[in-house]
Amino acid sequence: MWQNQWDTVPKSFTRSGSSTFRYTGAFRYSTFRFAQIGSYLAYLQGGFVSQSSDTEIRKAFHAQKLKDYHNCQNTIVIDELGLIHGRNRIDIAVFNGCLHGYEIKSAKDNLERFPDQLSVYRECLEKLTFVVAPNHLEVVFSMSPQWCGVLLAEKGPRGGISFSTIRRAQKNPEINLVSFAHLLWKNEAIELLGKLGIERDKQKVSRSELYKQLTQLVSIDELSVWVKEQFMKRETWRVAPQLLQDGGSLQLASRQ
């Protein structure tokens, strides 16, 4: 059964010596034939194994990839960060030098919402990386912009999750300053306008108008610094669990 179908699928990824993959082909399927593509990629990756879940990938990602960020006092890590006032969420956001979002696509997920998510992420995030199971790799790689990072999350036979870099994230050249400003609460936007010398009577407008005013006065880099300062002041607001080691077992505790 597989042989006839498989003849039509390009062998699109080859592992290089630098532990990355080189993209050598692209699918030209009608929109979102995800189930078939997922099966083919699972076959390419070595057969059918137990499927990864969002929880498994998220926990491993925090422990392996974000451990240093959790221990850095000048960095904030947020799970389920709302964007454009809840229009969408990014699974994990890391705010250090810039706002870097990580979206997880486990083997058990589907990609029905992927186009809508991507349209919001490219407006709001300074960097973006997709953390994907093998069955979503080709679709996410081919549909996402070149500046988006892609990490492959593979589940081993004993249940462990390992990560391989497919493409490194670069600064987002498409960011929308107004959409990015939506990360601020209204009082935070008003405070920044005051620091920029805007009179109070001109601040008595809608939240959307406040954001537009800001974008006429600051650059993305300047606004990013202010947004990060406000996130740090919010303290326990949607702060991701900090990873702690206790007797060799991983435990989660809120950062205070």
| pLDDT score of 8 more than 90 | no
C-alpha dihedral sign at 6, 7, 12, 13:
positive
Residue 159 sits in the same domain as residue 60: yes
- Regarding whether 136 and 59 lie in a shared domain, the answer is yes
Q: How far, CA to CA in Å, does 171 sit from each of 39, 156, 174?
A: 32, 32, 9
* pLDDT (tens digit per residue) in 179-207: 999 999 988 999 999 898 887 666 678 88
**Which stretches within the chain are classed as H helix?**
2-6, 34-44, 54-64, 67-70, 114-124, 137-143, 177-181, 186-195, 207-215, 220-233
Q: Which domain holds residue 223?
A: 177-233
Specify the 3-state DSSP secondary structure of 175: coil
Question: Does residue 94 carry a pLDDT above 80?
Answer: yes
Same domain, 217 and 108: no
Q: Is residue 246 part of a domain?
A: no
Q: What is the pLDDT of residues 60-79, one digit of tens each?
A: 999 999 999 999 988 999 99
Domain count within the chain: 2
